[in-house]
Structure 1
Amino acid sequence: MESKFCILTETEDLKTLISSTEDSLQIERTKTLFEEIRASINNNDEEDRSFWRPVLPWGGVYTIRAGRKAISCTPLYVKISLKNTCTIDGFLMILYVILRDNQSFPREVGIFLGRQFVEHFLYLMDSYDYTTVKMLWIWDRMSKRQYRSVIHHAALEIDLFGNEHENFTKNLETMMSTMQESLCTNWSCPARFQEFIQKTININPPHELPPRDPIQSAVDEFFCPKIILCKELGCNGLREFSQRVFCHGPPPFVILNMQLWKSEELSYVPYHLALSQHRYSLEGATLFNKEEHHYSAAFQIDGYWMHYDGLRSDNLILLNKPPELLLLSSLVYIRASDK
């Protein structure tokens, strides 16, 4: 079976995918996707009306040309089928809105993800080329260990079933990385000085509800200095942790992993949040349907909240109230000073 396919490197595949897409998208467009969504919101008098076309639908099928290296290969075209893409779809939608709605963010995000990646990502989303933008993320940002793939006749099937934080959040390189140093009071400690670096922000729910905002309290606990018993073998000293700081300065946006939180602990979600002495504002969230094992997303444009769900026919709608029967998977905050 494998002999029927021309095996290309991911770099070659990606270049072929992007170049062929740009060649096929020479149709003159008056507005980008972001401009279309914004215009639809601002010109919409009916609050329950959905966006006029499907946006970033679940899954996808892409046919790529094998190229000159495939002269002796059959078939000359290889179809790629995508399954369970909801583990990246919601975040891709939020990322697009954040980058298009904040002028300096594409340059900042490009430092971590690569300028070329950001440019291609925005171009493909602007041009409504949703399957290609998913392929861009899979080939450029994800490792092969993060998804399953299998060959069926003339098609490669890629299955992204899993956890959205594994498939998206952890692939943002070091953009959200934080560092915290610690020093043990015991001079004989085998590892007296330690440095802890964490690439994502996982905040734990409180054991009992604090008198103030539980999310801000959990964030403060994540960043604040603390003293605990040293856990090194044979050491009875105290380990003093410094204030946690961002490794590369305050990132343009942060994703808070909320999967451990229960709904009763989230009666209030703060619009503003202080992270390591920097002010952030709520921009979006991802939601999880436990029965369907399916992710969706919510985000705001011009003060209007929208719900995106790639599985639905009307998959981008104005949000008048919180979606029912959905669990909160993450909260996305942007650096407030740049809004």
Structure 2
Amino acid sequence: MRVSYTEHNTHFERSKTLFEEIRASIHNNEEDRSFWRPVLPWGGVFTIKAGRKAVSCTPLYVKINLKNTCTIDGFLMILYVILRENQGFSRELAFFLGKQFVEYFLYLMDSCDYTTVKMLWIWDRMSKRQYRSVIHQAALEIDLFGNEHQNFTENLENLMFTMQESLCTNWSCPARFQEFIKTTINISPPHELPHRDPIQSAVDEFFCPKLRLCSEIGCDGLREFSQRVFCHGPPPFVILNMQQWNSEDLSYVPYYLALCQHRYFLEGATLFNKEEHHYSAAFQIDSCWMHYDGLRNDNLILLHKPPEFLLLSSLVYIRASDK
């Protein structure tokens, strides 16, 4: 925000945020399908500004080089779009990630400070075991090569925290009552083709009550599993881990998902190219689909039709009540 002063009055001129620029480009330029400048480019260089006390010291490094950031880039882009399109979600996400983090994240994305927003995620959300780092001369290199669900989804704290209780019918069972807790939603394709949407069926299987043989050694009872529930209520958005699914399992991707008595809408997806070991993303803004790939020169492109979800890594759904 720029402040302009005149002799008689003071007024404010607010420049457009990144989200406002992207939204305007969708509606104002139908011929050019790509955004006018790179958004969240792959990698990045973060320069460390030394203070006065560091003048007489020899720092270990004065800049940080980021590599293989595609494991967080796509999700950072989708997260930004979700929060800017759904104002109430910022407050809900702040409960899990902290108000200061959410506000700073949005400020950096609005300002197109892409390398800093990646450093914010790395330092605030990731643990050191999730990335490799090495010092080359006066530069620290951070390599995020790996799995996007480990680098992003698993670092959303308890946003998708679910619990399912179970009770064995055998009173002599050594572990009669158990609680099964999961922090992510990792669904598997059904063994047999269901009569309806396979993704909805897999989600139902993840959450629904069930009856199984008890797996405790020496127990011949039946174990009753309760309905799986979100421990902190229905989250503003959910990420479905689709890594176990093949393209032939994904002939149909639902735009609506029934989940714990709530309705969710498809907002985006991340895609994985196995040959390049590279992640990209697709998401909606104002019902228009866009494809983001940080490695490309024109890395944000407007699609004239929904993308083909053949290389899915994840699906992102937002809660319908706040849309």
Same fold per TM (> 0.5)? yes
* Aligned CA-pair RMSD: 1.5
- Paired with 2:184 and 2:263, the residues of 1 have a C-alpha distance of 18
The Cα shift of 1:309 comes to: 0.1
SS at match of 1:156: strand
- Paired with 2:307 and 2:207, the residues of 1 have a C-alpha distance of 31
How many residue pairs get matched? 311
Contact 1:63-1:77 within 8 A present in 2 as well:
no
1:298 counterpart = 2:282: yes
Map 1:293-332 onto structure 2 (within 5 A): 293-321=277-305, 327-332=311-316
Contact 1:183-1:192 within 8 A present in 2 as well:
yes
SS at match of 2:295: coil
User: Aligned residue for 1:41?
Assistant: 26
SS at match of 1:330: strand
Map 1:220-235 onto structure 2 (within 5 A): 220-235=204-219
> What is the letter of the counterpart of residue 297 of structure 2?
S
User: Aligned residue for 1:30?
Assistant: 15
The Cα shift of 1:323 comes to: 5.3
The Cα shift of 1:103 comes to: 1.0
**Aligned with 1:287 (options 237, 258, 271):** 271
Contact 1:296-1:308 within 8 A present in 2 as well:
yes
- Paired with 2:309 and 2:251, the residues of 1 have a C-alpha distance of 14
- Paired with 2:182 and 2:272, the residues of 1 have a C-alpha distance of 24
1:54 counterpart = 2:38: yes
In the superposition, the TM-score normalised over structure 2's length comes to 0.94
The Cα shift of 1:29 comes to: 5.7
**Aligned with 1:80 (options 42, 49, 64):** 64
Contact 1:60-1:83 within 8 A present in 2 as well:
yes
5+ residue gaps, structure 2: 1-12
SS at match of 1:255: strand
5+ residue gaps, structure 1: 1-27
The Cα shift of 1:69 comes to: 4.6
Map 1:101-250 onto structure 2 (within 5 A): 101-250=85-234
> What is the letter of the counterpart of residue 161 of structure 1?
F
The Cα shift of 1:73 comes to: 2.0
User: Aligned residue for 2:238?
Assistant: 254
In the superposition, the TM-score normalised over structure 1's length comes to 0.89
- Paired with 2:125 and 2:78, the residues of 1 have a C-alpha distance of 16
Contact 2:33-2:303 within 8 A present in 1 as well:
no
User: Aligned residue for 1:6?
Assistant: none
- Paired with 1:55 and 1:118, the residues of 2 have a C-alpha distance of 19
**Aligned with 2:82 (options 98, 104, 108):** 98
- Paired with 2:86 and 2:104, the residues of 1 have a C-alpha distance of 17
